[in-house]
Structure 1
Amino acid sequence: MHSEHVQRADSFTCLDCGHGWEGVYDIDVTVDEHARISAAHRLEERRVPSPLESPCCPKCESHKIRIMRPGRVAAARLRER
């Protein structure tokens, strides 16, 4: 069995209400003796589902989400000022 810890950051925008947010996820990836891969995602020390499997807007609960590289939401907010 092999385990690895990685971090992944993503930006998200809701296509229904326009809300944008970012998240940095701690991911523990494990490969078992049969080469099966499993991943446990954590956000702020809480175990959460993968944000890529079924993203949900924290504001309106829509599932129409655009996932982007990290920093896109912060950059857009800076341009708005």
Structure 2
Amino acid sequence: MPAPPRTIPSSLALRDVRWLRSSYSTGANNCVETARPAAGPSAGLLAVRDSKAPEGPALLFPPDVWARFVTAVH
């Protein structure tokens, strides 16, 4: 089985996902947003995009890797 992609050129390609913005966001659209794709090659991964460019690329992470990253920067 091939490895899942690590990036998606346009986050708009992720259909039927609900993007969530950090509760720490000031509303000035200067945060990251996350989503959990439920289908396709990205299923089970966490998608992360820049809220200033919602049509831009998304990075894909296994949930445990993202959790370790958030813990490390916290």
Structure with the largest fraction of helix: 2
User: Structure 1-normalised TM-score?
Assistant: 0.29
TM-score by structure 2 length? 0.31
More strand by share: 1
